[in-house]
Amino acid sequence: MSRFNPEGDQILTVPLKKRYNYKPYIIRVSGLLLVLVVTLSLIGVLEYAARSLPSTQRENHLSRFAPRSPQRNRRQDGSFPTSQASAMPTAGAYLSTLETLTSTQNGAPPTTTTIYPSISSGAYVPIASTIATSPGAYIPTASTIIIIASPTSAYVPTASTIVPSAAPPGSYVPTITTTTISSASSGSYLPTITTATKASALSSQVKNPSNTIILSWPLWKVFLGGYLPVFLAIIFKVFWASIYANIKLIEPFIQLSGPNGALAEDAFWTFYLSSSLKPISVIALSKRRWLMFWTSIIYLIVGFLPPLASESLFRDTNYNCANPNLAQPQHPCWPRLSVDPTIIRLLQGILSFVAIMTLAIMFMLSRSPTGIASDPSSIALVATLIHHPEVLADFRALEDEDTSRDISNFIGKKCYYLGTYLGRDGVERYGILPSNSYLLGGNIEPTHALEQLNVPKTNNFKIFLDAGFTIFVLGLLGVVVTYFKDGSDDSFNRFFNSNSFGPRFFMSTMGTIISMNFKRLEREVQTLSPFHRLARSPSPAGSTILLRQNKVPFGAFIMLVAQGYFFSASVAFVSALAEILVVILAAIPYSPGEIFLELIICTYTSIGILSIMVIVLVSLVFWRRQLPYLPRTPDTLGGVISYICGSRMLGDFEGCEGLGSQQLERRIAGLGEKYTYGKYTGVDGKYRWMIEESTVLSASG
């Protein structure tokens, strides 16, 4: 059954409480099933890695140390990687032909002969020192050599294709042709391919048939060993960051939709858009809010996945290889991809717990209606639910300078719920209703203190917090620069060069802390941006009261740029860069088999991102100073209600409580009204800070 108001808008008269159940896609059954499938897939990938790759305990090599030369000297090193190998022989970059793996007899078909019985098919041959992590300690991605028929003491350059001549012992073989290798430098170890193929004669000087061996270190192994585990963990964390933010957003409405409603202190002053550092899990546990509790626990646990993933797969140089390089006791073998079984099982355990709790959260959400019809992150949605006379009277009775704590003390023990009521005009309305008005006696007064009036625009704690975070980012920037420049033999370099459990975990943990803090700042800036614009000049509804928050950094960046919030967009962009930073930081500590260009790219990229972060954090201080005076931070449901309870704009939202997000936007934007924020006289005659229609102010002025 339905009826129409005089303006022709349809008013539903069914029990809307049972019909409205808006939930963002990521926390619907289909979205959570997708996350569950991803979780199980990651468990399977870890099991495949544990079964197919060698297992090595990282703690066995805690005492390993590979000293490094300063990067200033590295850039002056003549062996710095170039796109074309030099024709000039370099000591240490050549492999003696006495150590070749294959040879052929003069005039006979090519055969394979093992010079050293200890070298087996598929073994790896060391060609350079790995003690110092100068460019020579990093490996090239490809090389080709020609193996001569009769071993001599001549030397064959591995960075080019050559044809050996009859050189006397101790001399070098001149290079006939040079091939383009890669941007990687000549390095420590090169894998030998077990299949030997007969080479074509490149010169008339070649009298004997020879074999060609292709030596390569494919780039996919570089990506797999240094980046892929952390990259997958970051993507998985982004999923759960979105789940966490969306559940926190709708949780107050779930409480209000319950059979008994919820206390104002629980529904109006917790969660929603809050971006504080309060321990959400502790608050949820104390209030027995199990959905929020388990979601926050999983979000916290998933935050440790990138640091752990950075230590799960590594390049091992200490194993029982067939041809150990006795001159290099720290790294006697060619690097191979290995897994740490302890870390793998720990990751599988965490993901298994997450999979189980995903099912539990899916079950809890399926039994928890939200009672709302559209995205509640906009001011407009809250305005559609605030029209009951008693609810408006409760908030209008508050003093203008009351803080959130004052309001919570005043009406915190009063219950509210989402339901329908019959208005004075006989029209059934749906919104937030009081359930025990008798608790609000005439002897209860707001408890704000006089000294809390005229509080500063910027909270001192937030200034201190931002300053501390800036120092933290600068400290990490200093660590990266010091490691890149300083190659001294001290505890700092010994730790980062140890190729053991710890360096990558530390760097990725620092990146994770930065990422989570920038996510907090991104949410805060998105919440305050509409008030910043409303206070500067009257603005249309589309970019202010209808603005919805995006929970994914790149999505938030695009949305904010489209609405003209360029500083807020820069914070969202840096929040996205912070996720990338975690992957890059984990690749900076030294690892055998690492391509030298990796270190250069990762270090300079990290320095660039951290520098941008410092600039944005400093700019944030000035941006906060331009914010209007806000007695209460509008990041809770009660905070938003307090700024619209006395506004005349509430009349624009009559009959809109059942509209979806897009319908609501078309309806309100179609009115053509502009809105502003400031201290104005409300409908009750009280002078307060609020959002108001600019046309009403013009008419009254």
Q: Are strands 687-693 and 674-681 parallel, antiparallel or unpaired?
A: antiparallel
Among 261-265, 275-279, 292-296, 659-663, which range has the highest average pLDDT? 292-296
Which amino acid is present at 48? Y
DSSP letters for 518-544: HHHHHHHHHHHHHHHHHHHS-EEGGGT
Residues of the chain above pLDDT 70, percent: 69
Q: Are 168 and 624 in contact (CB under 8 A)?
A: no
Closest CA to 651 of 698, 683, 688: 683
Single pTM value for the model: 0.74
Give the residue with greater pLDDT, 414 vs 446: 414
Give the residue with greater pLDDT, 211 vs 245: 245
**pLDDT tens figures, 85-99:** 333 333 333 333 333
Helix residue spans in 563-595 (DSSP H): 566-586
How does residue 163 score in pLDDT terms, banded at 50, 70 and 90?
Answer: very low
* Region of 426 on the Ramachandran plot (φ > 0 left; ψ -120 to 50 alpha; else beta): left
**pLDDT tens figures, 572-603:** 999 999 999 999 998 888 777 677 788 888 99
pLDDT given for residue 612 in this prediction:
96
- Whether the per-residue pLDDT at 82 is higher than 80: the answer is no
**pLDDT tens figures, 301-338:** 999 999 999 888 887 777 787 777 777 777 777 778 88
Going by C-beta distance under 8 Å and a sequence separation of 6 or more, which residues neighbour residue 384?
431, 653, 656, 657, 659, 664
**pLDDT tens figures, 172-181:** 444 444 333 3
Residues of the chain above pLDDT 90, percent: 37
pLDDT given for residue 118 in this prediction:
40
- Whether the per-residue pLDDT at 132 is higher than 80: the answer is no
**pLDDT tens figures, 227-269:** 889 999 999 999 999 999 999 999 999 999 988 888 888 888 8
Q: Are strands 313-316 and 415-422 parallel, antiparallel or unpaired?
A: unpaired
**The two three-digit tokens of residue 249, written as one number:** 């957003």
**What DSSP state is assigned to residue 55?**
B
How does residue 166 score in pLDDT terms, banded at 50, 70 and 90?
Answer: very low
Question: Among the listed ranges 183-187, 357-361, 458-462, 632-636, which one has the minimum average pLDDT value?
Answer: 183-187
Reduced DSSP (H G I as helix, E B as strand, rest coil) percent helix, strand, coil of the chain, to 5: 45, 10, 45
pLDDT given for residue 216 in this prediction:
53
